[in-house]
Amino acid sequence: MDSKFPSASELLPKLTKVIYHGEDCADGYMCKFLIQEWFNERKLRVPKFIPANRKEQNYELKDLDYVLMVDFIYKEDVIKKWLTTTPHIFAIDHHNTSMKCPLPDDHKLLDMERSACTIVQEWLDPLKHKSRLLTLIEDRDMWTKK
């Protein structure tokens, strides 16, 4: 793990959008749920959650957006285009394709050995016990991951 990636308490309150893997993906939905709960527990304004899918990678960001992608990273050319106007883009992922992601190193939290929801939970709260549900989702996701 890259220790230069911002902490949850540093990054999350700044976010305007969270993009998560939304193709009927338990790992992606669990990432969304865990992050939503982080906001709800603190009674903070929740950012906009946007489900992403591989076939429609034409999403436009606004210049001032502060974005976190979880369990999904847009194609290289899309991110390069975003970066020309929007510098605050971060990603937490575990897919091999994310290695090609053109974000700066300290904007990426990548771990190919675990599911995204497990990485997200540890990032949100390193002391939290990994639930059976999270373990189940991880087992499934690592099995089907492409």
Q: Strand, helix or coil at 115?
A: coil
43: left (phi over 0), alpha (psi -120 to 50) or beta: left
The nearest distance, CB 25 to Mn ion, in angstroms, is: 6
Least distance (Å) between residue 129 CB and Mn ion: 20
In whole angstroms, the minimum distance from the beta carbon of 18 to Mn ion comes to 15
Q: Is the dihedral of CA 52, 54, 60, 64 positive or negative?
A: positive
Using the minimum distance from each CB to Mn ion, give the nearer residue, 15 or 137. 137
As a whole number of angstroms, the distance between CA 119 and CA 34 comes to: 11
Tell me the per-residue interface mask from 42 to 71 with Mn ion, x by CB under 5 A, - otherwise.
-----------------------------x
Residues that bind Mn ion (CB under 5 A): 27, 71, 116, 141
